[in-house]
Structure 1
Amino acid sequence: MGPGNAVDGRVFHVKLPGHDAMARRADEHVVPTRVMLPRRVVDGPARQVGKRLLMALLVLAATVLIVWLDRAGYNDNADGKVDLLDAVYYATVTLSTTGYGDITPYSDGARLINVVLVTPLRVMFLIILVGTTLEVLTERTREDFRLKRWRSNLRDHTVVVGFGTKGRSAIQTLCATGLPKEQIVIVDPASKVIEAANAEGFTGVVGDATRSDVLLRAELQKARQIIIATQRDDTAVLVALTARQLNRGAKIVAAVREEENAPLLRQSGADAVITSASAAGRLLGLSVLSPSAGTVMEDLIQQGSGLDLIERPVIKAEVGKSVRETEDLVVSVLRGHRLLGYDDPAASPLQLTDRVITIVRATPPPGSGPSGPSLPHLPMSPHHRP
């Protein structure tokens, strides 16, 4: 498919390899936009053919056995007797065709067996032979049904634009907090990338996320949160503008390379902007000054192991207390739209409508042992999870 082609009246673009696939330029190719649901695990073609062949042979063997056991009720026009070879011949011809009439059942018992047993076996044999064709014909219907059911059940989900290093890391963090894979939809213009996402159990949409019709296929208008992890800052701005236009209430978090582009992205509708290059540089500088501090910071941003940085509501037992009197290690207090540091006099006393950002020790999955460097003990609370 060359540049400028249309699919269903719409044109979709993807950049050539080596460029940012999310940015539209003159050297882009056109790709059809489509939703790709995770495929169920099925046997390979050779295994499926082998199973069908085995079932066909079993049906043939059953028919041969039936004819052979009742051979006295059959007549062979050649010699009048039916031996084992004649039984195999009769079963093969009867199952694959309507027969040639050279071997016929003449007794009442043989004719009854043909009606009750051989005819159903013939139907079963034909179904096995044409099963592959029927499967191809019904595959589209099944996919359409799955897609309609997916659209009707999907709401309050997370849309991730870009399935590169940043997008994958963001998804891993979300899944570590317990978000089901069914609640994540990935948008990327590369079919192979979406196929890789499908293999991991995620639903994907192939297309340019700067176009509103592509985001609508991801049901972005019903999403609760949107993560923009593109490779180019200008693409992130366009995606944020389009996403905010389609969904006024969703939380939009975006990543940019250059810090100077962060204000523009916020003006485009992003609620939070992460400067990937600056953040990595700060972590490098901190690790040089104190490798242990760098290890702790890296552990904090890796959800599900060691220490976790979480946000939770204030419980009734904490109302009226200062941040230092809570059982968890509180680093910030979110009061309305204000973010107060733990040392801010206005942060204490805590109010029932506040939310606190705390550092807690992650609970490892059952059966998993400790991993990574030993971290300092933190006070634990039964309320350390939201």
Structure 2
Amino acid sequence: MKGDEQPHTQRTGAPLLRSLWYRSRKEARDDVEAGRSITMPTQTVVPPLQQVIKRLVMAMTVLVITVMIVYFDRAGYTDNSDGSVDFIDAAYYATVTLSTTGYGDITPVSDSARLINIFVITPLRVLFLIILVGTTLEVLTERTRQQVRIHRWRSRTRNHVVVIGYGTKGRHAVRTLVGQGIGKDRIVVVDAQSKAVTAAGDDGLVAISGDATLTDTLLKAELQRASQVIVAPQRDETATLITLTARQLNRRATIVVAVREDENVPLLKQSGADTVVTSSSSAGRLLGTFMASPPTARTLEDLMTLGSGLDLIERTVTPEEVGRTPRECDDLVLAIVRDRKRLDYAVGWQTELRAGDRVIAVSRPVTETAE
């Protein structure tokens, strides 16, 4: 059967490349239509009922203050019906005045009452109207605030990490990055699924909704200024096209791609990927290790999962470690990174550490160490 009749069949080599270019740009745009938007990290939102109650209390407070002001100065007012103003008349006057109805049956006649209307009741009227239209004002303010946040984010985003695909692989990649000390403000997620974009926003990340195979979507993520790109979509052909587009936009960024099949690795590297991780072969190796030696497999799983017991980390050499050998460090050092070259366990074990070196070491989580 043809590949178009089996959407989940992996294509390799020339068939995979042909399937990429047969996909028209119009179809790609139709997939996401109006979904290309920037979602900033979710902030704490006051529940709607609580907002309504708060505004109602504020409005009633303003009304009560106005009633008391008019009642205590009732001698300066006149009622066209009987000439005097009692408490009910004061409440009535305050209500029609704050709502800007103003029937004119009760009016201030003394100088003090008129001055109070000018300098006190008029500002209260304005405040009352602001409370009444608070919902509309809040929507406009939130929209403006969102635009300001996006503009500020664009102006300061440099050397960040773009994670394309916020599925299982993408989420675990983000968790690992955060566990390694990379701030969430330096991570940008791109996904075509609205649920994934919402989840990324709830996790405190900036998220872009759109098709990552399109240049416009990647430009919204400021990929041209990123230092690292993680490509983790659901399909290998999509990963190839994303890698081609990303490499065209950014020649210097490190691009790491996750694919399912080993046959697609050479094509991904030709497309510009620096590193290609094959999920199926990695899972197969872990399964084989579990069968041969379960303790070894569990140790590997601990090393790959931050905070689970043992962490495999890369860190800068501390001033106290300068001049010492890796054997003398508190952590178990597996390799030294010096001048962008890796000195492994056998070569670097007797080497003295220098300022500026980085070590790849096995350590325990900070919480466990503190205990």
TM-score by length of 2: 0.84
Identical columns (%): 56
Residue of structure 2 equivalent to 1:135? 138
Q: Note if contact 2:40-2:201 (Cα within 8 Å) is conserved in structure 1.
A: yes
Aligned pairs (5 A) from 1:315-354: 328-334=331-337, 339=342, 341-343=344-346, 349=351, 352=354
* CA deviations over 1:275-334 (Å, ceiling 9, x no partner): 111111211221122221111111000123421112345678878987656654333444
Q: Give the aligned partner of residue 162 of structure 2.
A: 159
2:160 and 2:188 in contact (8 A); partners too: yes
1:227-249 residue CA offsets vs partner (Å, 9 max, x unmatched):
11111111111111211221122
Q: For residue 105 of structure 1, what is the aligned residue in structure 2?
A: 108
**2:367 aligned to 360, 364, 371, which one?**
364
Note if 1:197 corresponds to 2:200.
yes
Distance 1:326 1:105, change over 3 A: closer
In 2, the alpha carbon distance for the partners of 1:82 and 1:248 equals: 80
The offset of 1:349, in angstroms, is 4.1
Deviation string 1:206-235 (CA, Å, 9 cap, x unpaired) is: 111111221110011111211111111111
Q: How many residues align?
A: 348
- C-alpha distance 228-121 of structure 1, shift in aligned 2 (>3 A): same
Instruction: Choose which of 28, 31, 49 in structure 2 pairs with 1:29.
Output: 31
Q: Secondary structure at the match of 1:59?
A: helix
2:83 equivalent among 63, 80, 84: 80
Read off the aligned partner of 2:234 and give its amino acid letter.
Q
Q: Which residue of 2 aligns with 1:266?
A: 269
Question: Does the 8 Å contact 1:177/1:304 carry over to 2?
Answer: no
Q: Determine if contact 1:314/1:350 at 8 Å carries over to the other structure.
A: no
List per-residue Cα deviations over 1:336-379 (Å, max 9, x = no partner): 56555423x58764675765422222322798x6xxxxxxxxxx
* Structure 2: 5+ residue stretches without partners: 1-6, 10-19
Would the alpha carbon gap of residues 321 and 131 (structure 1) be closer, same or farther in structure 2, given more than 3 Å must change?
closer
Point out the more displaced range, 323-332 or 247-256.
Answer: 323-332
5+ residue gaps in structure 1?
Answer: 1-17, 370-386
1:122 is aligned to 2:138: no
Q: Would the alpha carbon gap of residues 326 and 122 (structure 1) be closer, same or farther in structure 2, given more than 3 Å must change?
A: closer
Aligned to 2:239: 236
Corresponding letter in the other structure for 1:259: D
- C-alpha separation between the residues in 2 aligned to 1:323 and 1:79? 98
Residue 269 of structure 1 aligns to a residue in which SS? coil
2:362 partner amino acid: I
Paired letter, 1:84? F
**d(CA) in 2 for partners of 1:289 and 1:56?**
73
Verify the 8 A CA contact 1:332 1:358 in the aligned structure 2. yes
Structure number having the greater helix percentage: 2
Distance 1:317 1:52 in 2: 59
Does residue 1:146 correspond to 2:143, yes or no?
no
**Taking structure 1 as the reference length, what is the TM-score of the superposition?**
0.81
Q: Which has the higher contact order (CA 8 A, sep 6+)?
A: 2
Q: CA deviation at 1:118?
A: 1.1
**Which residue is equivalent to 1:303?**
306
* Cα distance between partner residues in 2 of 1:84 and 1:315: 77
Sort the Cα spacing of 1:312 and 1:89 in 2 relative to 1 into closer, same or farther, 3 A. closer
Give 2:279's match in structure 1, choosing from 276, 281, 286.
Answer: 276
CA distance in 1, matches of 2:279, 2:315: 26
Cα shift at 1:47: 2.3
